[in-house]
Amino acid sequence: MVSTAHKQNRSADLRERTFRRLLVWLDQGVDTNGQSYLVIRGRLLGYFDRKNCLHADELADETLNRVARRLEEEGGNIETEIPAKYCYIVARFVFMEHLRANEKEIAALDNVSRQANVMSNEDRDRKEKMLECLDHCAAKLDSSQRDLIFGYYVGEQRVKIENRRSLAQTLGITVNALSIRACRVRDKLESCVKECAGRQ
């Protein structure tokens, strides 16, 4: 059985051999110590920059990786007059694929956005129905219950506490007794609203 370390070493050797073949092919028989590679990579970066690609460096590397893989398949030689010309041909294909991928991503984002809008419309409709049901059910309460429940929930924080104290004094009951009455009216109201919403 081949060990994992051996497989990794073999994979690294293949990558290095593929990269060296690419350097030799770009040099066209003259050892430039990697300068030809840097020059063509710089040109590819410029090409993708002019196409307004956000990740020009990644696309340039992908282009050179594809060229290197093709060299590996062809045994170290690709029939072309100028290596740079072939690299540009591959770069055009990479760019076209990049555009198609972007279009799919934009379409997917549009779809998510549409779904979010549908959800928000559904939520809006549900809230409107609940408010209609609340109005309907509140109208069914007698006036004293209606005044009590709406008065009980008026205001925020400190104002709400003062309002409840004042309401309890007006009714001649304790704040605790007011809370119990409000709870009963609220339960009645909630039950009516649920029933109403279920019918719609």
Is the model more confident about 108 or about 119?
108
Instruction: Tell me what pLDDT residue 51 has.
Output: 84
Instruction: Write the CA distances from 46 to 22, 27, 93, 119, integer angstroms.
Output: 20, 20, 16, 44
Instruction: Tell me what pLDDT residue 2 has.
Output: 44
| Dist. CA 55–CA 101, nearest whole Å | 13
Percent above pLDDT 90 for the chain: 13
**Number of neighbouring beta carbons within 10 Å of residue 171:** 15
Reported as a single tens digit per residue, the pLDDT across 29-50 is 788 888 989 999 999 999 998 8
Within 8 A by CB and 6+ apart from 67, the residues are: 22, 78, 86, 87, 90
Decide: 149 and 156 in contact? Cβ < 8 Å.
no
Instruction: Tell me what pLDDT residue 6 has.
Output: 44
| Dist. CA 60–CA 97, nearest whole Å | 13
Helix, strand, or coil here: 1?
coil
pLDDT surpassing 80 at residue 113: no
The mean pLDDT value for 121-150 works out to: 82
If pLDDT is split at 50, 70 and 90, which confidence band does 1 have? very low
Helix axes 175-199, 157-171, angle to 10 degrees: 110
